[in-house]
Structure 1
């Protein structure tokens, strides 16, 4: 049964996040999520680095849920499982970068797989591509949502007892409050929200944050982590 309060909260989450989901990071046991907005910015850069490609709209979604939910899924979050990337791109013409479409598609797919795993820590098992046409690099029209300033741009202060330990984790750029507060405590649970420093793999940082926060929490507390942005 959906309550009015629940509907309002979900709408508020969608409004603050813009077009994006909360993507499960790593495996179910990691208890971590990453905003689609942050993932999309990294993935688009990887696609753009492929010579002769003009990237367009890119989304990340759930392919198959793992069936395991050892931790509470955050509002607006996808359950743990495997992910798929759907992306559009145009091919350049009239330059030395012009190359056959099958070659471009193969390189884009490889770049997205590698970026999702090595740079982010997403469990991506499928990349679906759509060639939208031929374009000039000067006419590039990237995914507008990726250019929008990410939520949680401020660094909220927190008096939560776990704050010092979390902020001391290497790769944590700041605390953020996309879902209302950097530390959300509920019965038997704690959700920590952070921004990650560019160049650090969000999954690795989230694991370290979770370990640091767990060490400060009472026994039995289920600690989860949301990486809201990469700075």
Structure 2
């Protein structure tokens, strides 16, 4: 809150994201990519990757900046209170499974799976994955499907929305932080979900290019991935 007891712009955005369960808004790619993804969407992809690792059961996951050094400056305006571009760190908790194999080997495979998902499925610049073992299970739990966030679909209206919705790999437009397309005099932000089987950063780049072509050279473009379909 501000000194007068009201929510400031950043504080209000943070409160809204917390209420909706989005977590942090993570930089997707580098400073020139103009793309972000919700922590909720990214963690769902990580859980899906971890589900295929025997001998370790993934618990809590948190993604944050990897360093306290000054971050890079984004090439376009970021969504409200989003993390700036820069290396990220994944902190995770996991439980080992008794008798499956040595716990250190299972944890190392889990780390590899998380690293791989960050790079290959998402496009996050993750330089560190820290897995902390918090317990030991006598038997593996019954497997349950990992379900990504379902933020619903937003109406497709206007040239920017139509251009974004037509990009291969876009499952649907969403409107988590407001309308699916947020416009100002010199900037456009588009929110969408990525279809299963597509790398989030690649789709984000294609959406930015399509929206830039539709909106004209007088506006910069940023994109926000709010969900990634898992199947």
Which moved further from structure 2: 156-165 or 31-40? 156-165
CA displacement 1:31-61 (0-9 Å, x = unmatched)? 0011111111111121221111111111111
Q: Aligned residue for 1:39?
A: 42
SS at match of 1:138: coil
For the Cα contact (< 8 Å) 2:156–2:165, is it kept in 1?
Answer: no
How far apart in 1 are the matches of 2:77 and 2:150? 22
Distance change in 2, residues 1:13/1:187 (3 Å): farther
SS at match of 2:141: helix
CA displacement 1:109-155 (0-9 Å, x = unmatched)? 1111111001110000001110011112127899xxx76x7252x21
How far apart in 1 are the matches of 2:25 and 2:226? 9
CA displacement 1:176-201 (0-9 Å, x = unmatched)? 00111100001310000011101100
Which one has a larger percent helix, Structure 1 or Structure 2?
Answer: 1
Out of 4, 12, 18, the residue aligned to residue 8 of structure 1 is: 12
How far apart in 1 are the matches of 2:16 and 2:153? 20
Deviating 4+ runs (over 6 angstroms): 139-142
SS at match of 1:49: coil
For the Cα contact (< 8 Å) 2:33–2:75, is it kept in 1?
Answer: no
SS at match of 1:30: coil
How far apart in 2 are the matches of 1:112 and 1:29? 24
Could you tell me how far 1:13 is from its partner in structure 2? Answer: 2.8
For the Cα contact (< 8 Å) 1:13–1:75, is it kept in 2?
Answer: no
Q: Give the alignment's TM-score, normalised by structure 2.
A: 0.89
Q: Aligned residue for 2:61?
A: 58
How far apart in 2 are the matches of 1:10 and 1:88? 25
Out of 144, 153, 156, the residue aligned to residue 154 of structure 2 is: 156
For the Cα contact (< 8 Å) 1:14–1:76, is it kept in 2?
Answer: no
For the Cα contact (< 8 Å) 1:38–1:228, is it kept in 2?
Answer: yes
CA displacement 1:17-39 (0-9 Å, x = unmatched)? x1511110011100001111111
Q: Aligned residue for 1:108?
A: 110
| Number of residues of Structure 1 aligned to a counterpart in Structure 2 | 222
Could you tell me how far 1:85 is from its partner in structure 2? Answer: 0.4
Runs of 5+ unmatched residues, structure 1: none
Q: Give the alignment's TM-score, normalised by structure 1.
A: 0.89
Distance change in 2, residues 1:5/1:66 (3 Å): closer
CA displacement 1:191-216 (0-9 Å, x = unmatched)? 00011101100100000000000001
For the Cα contact (< 8 Å) 2:22–2:38, is it kept in 1?
Answer: no
